[in-house]
Amino acid sequence: MKNKIILILIFVYAASFAKSVSIELVSKGKSGYKIILSCSASHWDSLAAHQLQSYVKEISGAQIAIADDSVPSTEKEIIIGTNNRAANLDLSSIREDDGFIIRTDGSKIYFAGKRKGTLYAVSTFLEKYLNCRMYSAKVKVIPKRNSIILPQIDISENPVFSYRDIYYYETENDEYCYWHKLTDSDDKKMWGMFVHTFNTLLPPEKYFKEHPEYFALRDSLRVPEQPCLTNPGVFKIIVEELRRRMKENPSAKIWSVSQNDNYSNCQCNECKKIDEREGSPAGSLLNFINKIAKEFPGKIISTLAYQYSRKAPAAIRPEKNVNIMLCSIECYRTYPLETDTSKNSFTQDLIEWSKLTNNIFLWDYVVQFTNYVSPFPNFHVLQPNIQLFAKHGAKMMFQQGSGQLGGEFNELRAYLIAKLLWNPKINIDSVMNDFLSGYYGKAGKHIKSYIDLMTSSLIKSNAKLWIYDNPVNSMQDYLAPELIKQYNKIFDKAEKAAKNNSVFLERVKTARLPLKYAMLEQAKVIGEGDSGTFIKDEARSYKANPKIEILLDEFLDGCKRTGDVHVNEQKLNADLYVSRYKTMLSKIMKNPLGLFKPVKYLNEANWKYPANGEKSLTDGMRGDEDHHFNWVGFEGNDMEVVVDLQKNTTVKKVSADFLQISFSWVFFPEQFEISVSSDGKIFSDVSSMRNETPITKEETSSPFYSFIKNFSCSFNPTETRYVKVKAVNMKTCPRWHPGYPFKAWIFTDEIVIE
């Protein structure tokens, strides 16, 4: 009995020793290993084999041969994917597509997975055991060593989300997607159509004139913004159009049948009846989508739960082949989404949808779309939000970033989100610190201090961090002037730390561009002063602030070194942004007669766009093509104001700039009229001009079409104290315009009196 126990102990010890024996993959630049592939290896297994071969050679100089599984077995083999060497390999831990194992058995190394799992196993191995990194599509870290010693390995991983898509410039590179286990260009071929498709399936230009009943009823008027989802003709046309498109693209699996990007859902009696019963406009939408889905049982019909349709219906359940694309566009990002426990919160909507279906595509937003190049401290909510989505059963994830070069911390955000989409439970601080030290070198710790200070300042302020905001609205919280000074001091330290490495220094300077952008935007509303757009010179005349002119040049230079940087979602590039800014600066006049003079509003402005309050029209601060700042808006009424020059003054010219963004219902005035008075009571007309600039339907299609026009009236020199300026509003949007019959806006920034 005693001898048996000793033998058992020896066996256990020997087995555990064998498992602990290290593996010498490469020794002094040589390797005795072969990579074994099946004779009928998949594309992904073959790609995995060649990736491993390539990286090992670059790391150590060792060329490991690739052979098929018909060659005789040897002791030292790296077995890739499914082949005759892996016949007895236990793959039961691979539960999901793209899941994988990395396992050693003595001196043999196994990489295996479902679908692309084997490729993902190799990239995980390279990162975890050989310390390789892919920080961006262009930045790889491949440490050199002539020997590679491995421990015994036994790991398996499965994705939490089956679809992992990130809208960033980095993810246009398939190699980056393979490394980070993301949805790549091949995966995206599964989509036949992708979001906001009603106008494509039921074109208003084709059907609205003859069949207005196919479209939404709003305030007793049919408008071509959304379809009427209870109209049988609409159903028939959309089914026929889908059949035609599916025939042209039979391999596409998912087809989006989804609302257009506006709020004009149909409110006819039939649609309203369903919506009221279901407690949400998602009722009539899902009722329609379910009928479509039944026509195409072999396809997945995806639809949006977005804005007006975000709230789940009370009773209607999506068909099994219906995918719900739930969007968080309205949400603030100061705190994790789950902290909002209100009845109408996004979290509550997610919970309600998850009770109805397990086929949820979660569309989240992770940048500031109105200002890609602006500080946006949301790093602290990335992980808890993604964990929330996983907790409530979302299987498909789309994280919408900037999609362009040069956005704030693009590379860092893409990197962190990619890691979280594979495993929401990672140590996010560890991953971030690894990135910062690898991407910025010694400056990384200062970048971390910058991120931490801005994040804590946001939380302390309790401000609402919104994806459609701007750095001006944050001047009282995380972008307050005193904090801007602190952030700049941190970046000074970061640049000093990176000064001996030109690559790291350039990356630090790129990371600083959003701070410079914030300063430029804030200068527009500061106006006069050291941080504003204009100052007084030695002669007490006004001029553009040289500091701002220098900052503009620095910003443009940095953007050009980075690439074709887009400042916002409308693809405003840095060149045009700076050009517009300089045009605005060029309008600063030395001694305008009306500067800082009091203004009386005869018709009330709409203070949704307050600029700087009642003084805005004579404060010297000009607007550019962005209507959010320095523009005073009048909704549905004329602009009629009186400027008090405070003494009799000779006047010969009055002008004002007006803005037109017809997409946003902002139009030039129909007429510009000037009258004068010495007593402020009786006014005499002196000049007027009509607007001759037509509105085109093309410019109505996008907010990118933004125009400024100067309306100017010259007249004989006249002695006067009071100047009345009237701009005649068209009152409602034109009948052909999508905004009809709603009120039209006019926007002006400054009344210039000479």
Please state, in angstroms and rounded to a whole number, the distance separating the CA atoms of residues 703 and 656: 22
**pTM for this prediction:** 0.92
Structure tokens at 105: 């058995």
Dist CA 132 CA 56 (whole Å):
10
Give the alpha-carbon dihedral of 353, 183, 55, 79, to 10 degrees.
70
Greatest Cα-to-Cα distance within the chain, rounded to the nearest angstrom: 123
Pairing of strands 34-37, 65-68: parallel
Listed residue (341, 421, 331) closest to 378, CA to CA: 331
Q: What is the CATH number of domain 2-158?
A: 3.30.379.10
**Separation CA 202–CA 198 (nearest Å):** 6
pLDDT of residue 20: 59
Q: How many helices (H) and strands (E) does the chain have?
A: 18, 28
Cα dist. 463→292, 330, 460 in Å? Answer: 43, 15, 8
E-state strands within 626-679: 632-635, 639-660, 671-677
Kindly give the interhelix angle for 232-248 and 282-295, rounded to the nearest 10 degrees.
50
pLDDT at 507: 98
Name the DSSP letter for residue 337.
G
State whether residue 656 is helix, strand or coil: strand
Q: Which of 158, 86, 90 is nearest to 124 (CA)?
A: 158
Which pair of tokens denotes residue 565?
């940087």
Candidates 278, 193, 285; CA nearest to 235 is 285
Q: Cβ distance 654 to 703 under 8 Å?
A: no
pLDDT at residue 4, as a whole number: 54
DSSP 8-state symbol, 26: E
Is the CB of residue 525 less than 8 Å from the CB of residue 472? yes
> What element of type H or E holds 350?
helix 346-356
Q: Which residues contact 624 (CB under 8 A, 6 or more apart)?
A: 524, 580, 581, 583, 584, 708
Cα 147 from Cα 690, distance rounded (Å): 81
User: Taking the C-alpha atoms of 307, 310, 316 and 319 in order, what is their torsion angle to the nearest 10 degrees?
Assistant: 90
Which is it for strands 77-80 and 65-68: parallel, antiparallel or unpaired? unpaired
CA 725 vs CA 138, 658, 715, 717, 750: distances in Å: 56, 13, 14, 17, 11
Bridging pattern class, strands 707-728 and 671-677: antiparallel
Q: What is the mean pLDDT of each run of 10 residues along the chain (754 residues)?
A: 50 46 95 97 97 98 97 97 92 95 97 97 98 98 98 97 96 97 94 98 97 95 95 99 98 98 96 98 99 99 98 98 98 97 94 98 96 97 99 97 90 98 98 99 99 98 95 96 98 99 98 98 93 86 93 97 89 93 88 91 87 86 86 96 97 96 95 97 96 87 86 97 98 87 93 95
Alpha-carbon gap, residue 686 to 714, rounded angstroms = 9
3-class DSSP state of 29: coil
According to CATH, the topology of domain 592-754 is Jelly Rolls (2.60.120)
d(CA 700, CA 350): 34
Find out whether 125 and 4 touch, Cβ atoms under 8 Å. no
Taking only Cα atoms into account, the Rg of the chain, rounded to an integer number of angstroms, comes to 32
CB-based burial, 270-290: b 16+ in 10 Å, e otherwise: ebbebbeebebbbbbbbbbbb
Q: What angle do CA 415, 398, 358 make, to 5 degrees?
A: 130
**What are 699's two structure tokens?**
């410019």
Tokens representing residue 269 in the block: 């009696």
Q: Domain segments of the chain: what residues? A: 2-158, 187-426, 527-589, 592-754
On whether the CB atoms of residues 80 and 111 are closer than 8 A, the answer is: yes
Which one is the CATH code of 187-426: 3.20.20, 3.30.70, 1.10.8, 3.90.1530? Answer: 3.20.20
Residues 6+ apart with CB under 8 A from 427: none
Pairwise CA distance, residues 628 & 631, whole Å: 7
Three-state DSSP class for residue 100: strand
Could you tell me where the DSSP H helices lie in 21-116? 43-60
Q: Which of 478, 480, 481 minimizes the C-alpha distance to 454?
A: 478
DSSP track, 129-197 = HH--EESSSS-EE----S-EEE---EEEE--S-SEEEEESGGGGSHHHHHHTT---TTGGGGEEE-SS-
